[in-house]
Amino acid sequence: MDILLAQPYYLALLFFVVAFTYSSVGLGGGSSYTALMAIIGFNVLAIPMVSLVLNVLVTTVGSFNFIRNRHARIGLIVPFLVGSIPMAYVGGALTLPKELFYWVLLVSLLFVAYRIYFWTTTSFSLGLTQRSKLLISLCSGALLGLIAGIVGIGGGIYLVPLIIILGLGSEKEAAACGAIFVWLNSVSGLVSRLQYNAIDLEQYIPLIIAVLIGGTMGSFLGSTRFSARTMEKILGVVILVAIALLIKKITRL
């Protein structure tokens, strides 16, 4: 926490970049917020709560921009939400040991990096029936919701390509779905955590302002101009740096 107080504007700049990049593709930025706070040495109990708060702020703006530009389809997101919201609440009630928390976070980031750099073909069709698609939506939503509650990662980075692979929607529709998904699951996980712990958000005001500005700019440009693939490559650089720093921190535990 001393590091945060000593360098609030430096951290705010980093969080602005994260919020801008993630929000442009319909995401909240939870994976990078969580990684940065873990690397700096924030309290493990505070990290998921702060990350979920920032997720809610960014995806509130993102959801509005994507909905306003008519990219959102309620019928697309509902099956994912049915499975995810209860599990996000369950995940929010869990407190992992410090070392296990870091490992869960690291594995999540590695999957994100793999998805961005190696899972590039999202145009093929799996030939699934509507019933199979519904079942996959419910199960994957439940898993992502649980991760969202435990670690403070919204899960949108996995959901967006999944929607495209299943042939459920376009890239813009998937991004809109991701923003709404992250927002609702972050709210569910945060509500659960606030029942057991409370945090003073006053000291995080520079970060809050930074993600609000970054999220507003990124989601506006992402919903109107930016290529989703281009922004994902930029996002990948942020993730790789976070992975390297987090591995360094884990080896020192």
Identify whether 106 is part of a domain.
yes
Identify whether 93 is part of a domain.
yes
* Residue 200: CA count within 13 A, CB half-sphere: 3
pLDDT at 72: 74
For 80, residues 6+ apart whose C-beta sits below 8 A from its C-beta are 137, 138, 140, 141, 144, 159, 177, 181
Count of C-beta atoms within a 10 Å radius of residue 75: 8
Cα–Cα distance, 144 to 103 (Å, whole number):
17
pLDDT tens, N- to C-terminus, the chain (253 residues) = 444 444 667 788 889 988 888 787 777 787 788 888 888 878 877 888 888 888 888 888 878 877 887 777 777 888 888 888 888 888 877 777 778 877 877 887 787 777 677 765 555 455 667 788 788 888 888 888 887 777 766 677 677 777 766 777 777 787 788 888 888 878 887 887 777 777 777 788 888 899 999 988 888 877 666 666 666 666 677 677 777 777 877 787 6
Cα–Cα distance, 7 to 1 (Å, whole number):
10
Domain holding 226, by residue range, is: 9-251
Counted domains in the chain: 1
Question: 246 and 47 in contact (C-beta within 8 Å)?
Answer: no
Question: 181 and 81 in contact (C-beta within 8 Å)?
Answer: yes
Identify whether 3 is part of a domain.
no
Identify whether 165 is part of a domain.
yes
